[in-house]
Structure 1
């Protein structure tokens, strides 16, 4: 009699355990749950990518400082003064002459196919 009670109880417990396990798995496979899991993974991947980019930026700054020190570029060199270029007008060009009969042509193209 105790054997039957033991096996009945063991079977009932195994059935409850299996049913609970299956119900949990079914809840994980609903579309809403899958969407939440995918969003969570995407956010986690974004954080990892951001951390990687920050590490790369820090490494680049460190390496640039090392190269500047090795090449002696840390000193602030005196920059040359900017060059001033005088704009010269072509006095022979009709546009710049005092001739009032000069009419500047438009650079607009009337080709309809040129825009596409």
Structure 2
């Protein structure tokens, strides 16, 4: 019974290592590296878009605040 238990533990560990090794091998291939770079690029672009939107909103809010404090009428752009 003890041998069967350890044989099953070894088989499970072998299956786990083979699957993890296959994933690691895929990540190290040129296609896997390309996928990782593309994913990081999309994350960076999304982060920059969020930053730019937050910056524009804060800038507009500060401009409105300054206009109120200095009694400057709001400009109308057409």
- TM bucket by the smaller chain? 0.7 to 0.9
* Paired residue total: 75
| Distance in 1, Cα, partners of 2:48 & 2:74 | 35
* Structure 1 residues 75 and 11, CA gap change in structure 2 (3 angstroms): closer
Which range is displaced more, 51-60 or 67-76?
67-76
Q: CA RMSD in A?
A: 1.7
| Distance in 2, Cα, partners of 1:43 & 1:4 | 50
Alignment of 1:88-107 (within 5 A): none
How high is the TM-score relative to the length of structure 2? Answer: 0.82
* Rg comparison, structure with higher value: 1
Asked if the contact 2:67–2:74 (Cα under 8 Å) also holds between the matched residues in 1, the reply is no
More helix by share: 2
Runs of 4+ in 1 over 3 A off after TM superposition: none
How high is the TM-score relative to the length of structure 1? Answer: 0.58
Deviation at 1:6, TM superposition (A): 2.0
Unaligned runs of at least 5 residues, structure 2: none
| Distance in 1, Cα, partners of 2:7 & 2:50 | 55
Of structures 1 and 2, the one with the larger relative CO (CA 8 A, separation 6+) is 2
